[in-house]
């Protein structure tokens, strides 16, 4: 059996779910547009440069979740999916997932975006297994605005994947092939240890690295 790992943002969707969520909240007057855009641009430039402080970013990104109960958040997320996410899922991404399902591969999304945002997206794509940033909850089940455990970002994706495999009594060597599809230089640590790395609509750094190492470079844009 093979294991097929997929990054989510700018890989399986044409855009960044972490960025689309605040855009959705701004449209509803929940976030201040100017302040959030300024802070988001600050963090996005760090992300592109590979220098993002994931904990500083999560403090900023998760704060709005603390304003609502879980039921209120679920209602908001349903509208977010319809307005912001479903329109940016390309058919080629769905087709690639379907091909791996048809081959009997174990399929997983592994993303640096939090589980609240990405869980419903994984379900929409038919993907059972998801590694995402886990969120701390209070005694009432509401979000505290803090992450829980190791963030699945850069080398943290390897840590979280190894934890998932260990819980199943497996390692990467348990699989005939391990694919990883990603667009980002931030995923080079994990891309470098799988048997079948694939650069998808890659940033300049990842594209150059992939070409230098003979990795496939593909697009999932329709």
Whole-prediction pTM: 0.94
CA atoms within 13 A on the CB side of 132: 23
Query: To 5 degrees, how large is the angle CA 190–CA 15–CA 123?
Result: 75
Contact 194, 179 (CB under 8 A): yes
Instruction: List 6's β-bridge partners, or say none.
Output: 109, 181
For residue 115, give the nearest of 149, 90, 83, 69 by alpha carbon: 149
User: Which residue in this structure is represented by tokens 């929940």?
Assistant: 30
Of the residues 7, 105, 183, 201, which is catalytic? 7
What is the C-alpha separation between 111 and 113, in angstroms, rounded? 5
What is the C-alpha separation between 211 and 217, in angstroms, rounded? 7
Radius of gyration of the chain (CA): 17
The helix (run of H) or strand (run of E) holding residue 99 is helix 91-102
Is 105 an annotated catalytic residue? no
Looking at residue 185, the DSSP 8-state letter turns out to be G
What is the C-alpha separation between 131 and 134, in angstroms, rounded? 8
| Predicted pLDDT of residue 12 | 98
CATH number of the domain at 127, please. Answer: 3.40.50.1000
Contact 133, 116 (CB under 8 A): no
Instruction: List 106's β-bridge partners, or say none.
Output: 3
Number of domains within the chain: 1
Given strand 217-218, what is the order of strands in its sheet? Answer: 143-148, 129-137, 106-114, 3-6, 178-182, 196-200, 217-218
Instruction: List 9's β-bridge partners, or say none.
Output: 13
Instruction: List 131's β-bridge partners, or say none.
Output: 110
For residue 192, give the nearest of 150, 152, 158, 151 by alpha carbon: 158
For residue 62, give the nearest of 79, 45, 46, 39 by alpha carbon: 39
Residue ranges making up the domain that contains 32: 3-218
pLDDT in tens, 92-139: 999 999 999 999 999 999 999 999 999 999 999 999 999 999 999 999
| Predicted pLDDT of residue 85 | 98
Which tokens hold the place of 187? 């995923």
Looking at residue 156, the DSSP 8-state letter turns out to be H
Is 204 an annotated catalytic residue? no
Question: What are the residue ranges in the chain where pLDDT is below 50?
Answer: none
């Amino acid at each position: 059996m093979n294991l097929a790992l997929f990054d989510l943002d700018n890989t399986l969707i044409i855009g960044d779910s972490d960025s689309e969520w605040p855009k959705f909240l701004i449209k509803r007057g929940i976030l201040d547009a100017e302040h959030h855009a300024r802070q988001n641009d600050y963090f996005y430039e760090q992300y592109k440069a590979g220098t993002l402080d994931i904990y500083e970013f999560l403090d900023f990104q998760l704060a709005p979740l603390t304003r609502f109960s879980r039921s209120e958040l679920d209602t908001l997320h349903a509208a977010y999916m319809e307005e912001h996410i479903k329109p940016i899922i390309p058919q080629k991404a769905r087709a690639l997932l379907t091909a791996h399902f048809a081959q009997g591969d174990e399929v997983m999304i592994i993303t640096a975006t939090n589980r609240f945002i990405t869980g419903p997206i994984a379900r929409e794509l038919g993907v059972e297994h998801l590694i995402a940033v886990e969120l701390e909850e209070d005694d009432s089940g509401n979000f505290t605005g803090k992450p829980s455990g190791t963030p699945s970002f850069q080398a943290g994706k390897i840590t979280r994947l190894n934890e998932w495999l260990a819980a199943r009594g497996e390692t990467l060597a348990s699989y005939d092939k391990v694919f990883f599809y990603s667009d980002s230089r931030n995923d080079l640590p994990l891309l470098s240890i799988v048997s079948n790395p694939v650069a998808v609509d890659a940033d300049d750094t990842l594209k150059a690295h992939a070409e230098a190492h003979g990795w496939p470079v593909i697009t999932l844009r329709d």
